[in-house]
Amino acid sequence: MLMGNDEEADFPYWSIDMPGLDERRAVELAGLVRQSGAGIEPTLVDPMLWLTLHLDRETVEVVRDALASAPTTAVTASLVESFDEWLDQSARGGEGGADSP
């Protein structure tokens, strides 16, 4: 998945991890964000359907290398490409990083 100019404008992509959040409260929070006028469209991710991982750079590199050495499938190729893009984007830095003043 190559990033076009519009997608690059969305980097960095921040998320909020809220342990213990249930579906009802997630829907309520998403509604509050939409109503806030912040111009942000939240995406709800159902943990019964999606595994969401917050991986650090070193882990992404290890997983990418392991996938790159595995037999190539459409899925492994797509993941390697996505990891490479993220590694490239994050190496360039972005606005508002955790270490930003």
- Which residue matches tokens 């492994």? 76
pLDDT in tens, 31-51: 999 999 998 889 999 999 998
Q: Is it the case that residue 2 has pLDDT exceeding 50?
A: no
Q: Residue 8: pLDDT band by 50, 70, 90 thresholds?
A: low
Q: Is the pLDDT of residue 4 over 70?
A: no
Measured between alpha carbons, how far apart are the two ends of the chain, in Å? 32
Calculate the dihedral angle through the C-alpha atoms of 22, 25, 28, 29, rounding to the nearest 10 degrees: -90
Q: What is the residue type of 34?
A: R
Identify whether the C-beta of residue 44 lies closer than 8 Å to the C-beta of residue 30.
Answer: yes
Cβ neighbours for 14, distance < 8 A, ≥ 6 positions apart: 96
Residues 1 and 86 sit within 8 Å (Cβ to Cβ): no
pLDDT score, position 17? 85
